[in-house]
Chains A and B, each alone.
Chain A
Amino acid sequence: MTVEVTPTTFTYVYFDSAYIARIAQRLIGLFHLENHNIRIDINETTPLAKMHIEFGDPIVINIQSGAFEDFSRPRQQSEPATTQSLGRILLKVRDRLSPEFANAPADEDLTLVQVAIWETYCVARLSRHDIDINRQRWLYNFRNRHGFNDASDRAFEKIWNSNDLTWEQLQNISDTAIALVQ
């Protein structure tokens, strides 16, 4: 297994590529992804925080600099933000590699609702690895996609407390919540 971070030196932000690699290695071990080579490409020209996976050898994770940033100290790297963002995307990598998620649409075809349920599922599992997560932030994101109502909150709870869902089960929880209020 290799972990590579590019660029190795940054000009727009004060990030540390070796530090990012160390955090990634820890998470890769935690999620049993040691059999894969992974490259993390950071786009430091934008403060946005989008992430995208390209499967191949290595698996390439494209990340915009906002995903690792300490928003209270612009351009500085945040250890919690780096861990949370990498943790979320690596759990998504693990899901994509498993047969349970074989039917999940390609990233570019995911709807905003589907993105929200998958992110909730990733962040919830991350929180059980003793990684500090603001649950309310993700509940708000979920409500924005499913509506501000009890059915939406019940769906969130169900996903938040689950560990071994398939893509179909995840989608079903979301569909049920949306159908209940229509």
Chain B
Amino acid sequence: MRKFFPVEDLARDERFNQITMNDRMADQRTAITTDSRPSRAANRIVPSRGDASDAARGLMHGIFVGEIQALEGAGRTCWDFTTGEEAPFELKLDMARQCWDEARHVEISIKLSDWMGSEIGEYAENTVLFQAACSSDPVLRLAGVNRALEGLAIDVFTTMKEFGEVAGDQYLEFAEDWMLADEVTHVKMGSDWLRKITENDPERRKKALDFQSVVDKLFSYGGTRSESQESPIGLARRFRELAGFDDQEIDVIADLSLAALEERKAAVLEAQAAHN
């Protein structure tokens, strides 16, 4: 079986259309407004938003394709590295457990999408998640996938769980809560293995944390996730703490996300000025 599988070769049927981060960045439109009035500026996916159910459906589809890629990423980590020399057996065992979880999350996401009235492939699939799982160093994969990406999953699931709770959609609320518990475990696996493997290798740890920072920045692109109500997805501090992030690490992600939001707002102003 082939090792180190490129993103372009992921198996998908004709329902899926894949896009890259470059495609996303080429879209100059934005839902973020330069209007600072709270009623206009709030973009958080909450039931009181006018387009709440459509926004939630879109995010649910994003979760669905994210779960597929997380499954593929964890599966590759089990296979791409030799046991013992490149990756400890116990690490692979954790990745196998994660595959089991992600496969179940895919099934749950399909059921929730049906429930919300979405079809598989209705939205584009951004492949950035799997790209973060293509590093040749297992520690970098854990930093990029388990800590940055699964960290984002914690933020997304918390937003969706709260949406279900406020809307009174118990299926959504409970399913997201169960998946959230798994994601906290996945992030914790990443945090624990990162510390363990790089215990005596500060340079490798720094490299991994730098890679995580790059992935975190990519996922914060356009201010999609931050503590501001202007971002569709919030930052779930409490669950991140449970997953092994310390306060300083969470503050760094919060600052990074807020900076991405401000950067996007400045770009919007610039684009508007050019357009007028």
Contact = CB atoms under 8 A, between A and B. Distances in A.
Contacts of B53: 137, 140-141, 144
Interface stretch (B117-125, B192-200, B203-211): B117-125
A136 interface: yes
A137 B116 contact: yes
B57 A137 contact: yes
A19 interface: no
A78 to B, nearest CB: 10
A137 B118 contact: yes
A138 interface: yes
Contacts of A65: 29
A145 to B, nearest CB: 8
Interface stretch (B140-148, B167-175, B251-259): B167-175
B117 A137 contact: yes
Interface in B37-90: 47-48, 50-54, 57-58
Contact of B117 (A11, A13, A73, A136): A136
A135 B114 CA distance: 11
Contacts of A45: 28-30, 271-272, 275
Nearest to B26: A75
Contacts of A140: 53, 57, 115-117
Contacts of B50: 50, 112, 115
8 cross-chain pairs, A with B, having the tightest CB-CB distances, nearest first: A137-B117, A136-B117, A141-B53, A72-B17, A71-B123, A47-B29, A140-B117, A140-B116
B19 interface: yes
Contacts of A58: none
| Chain B interface, >50% SS class | loop
B17 A46 contact: no
Contact of B48 (A11, A74, A112): A112
A12 interface: yes
Given A45-B275, A148-B170, A73 B30 contact: no
Interface of A: 11-13, 44-50, 65, 71-75, 112, 115, 134-141, 143-144, 147-148
B158 to A, nearest CB: 19
Interface in B96-136: 114-119, 121-124
A117 to B, nearest CB: 14
Nearest to B115: A140
Contact of A74 (B52, B54, B117, B124): B124
Residue among A44, A72, A141, A147 with the most chain B CB within 10 A? Answer: A72
A116 to B, nearest CB: 9
B93 interface: no
A139 B29 contact: no
B181 interface: no
Given A48-B51, A115-B50, A136 B28 contact: no
B124 A71 contact: yes
A72 B121 contact: yes
B27 interface: yes
A148 B168 contact: yes
B29 A143 contact: no
Interface in B15-41: 16-17, 19, 23-24, 27-31
B87 to A, nearest CB: 36
A168 B191 CA distance: 58
Contacts of A74: 19, 23-24, 27, 124
17 contacts: A12-B28, A12-B29, A45-B272, A46-B31, A47-B27, A47-B30, A71-B123, A72-B16, A74-B24, A75-B29, A134-B117, A135-B117, A137-B117, A138-B117, A140-B116, A144-B47, A144-B169
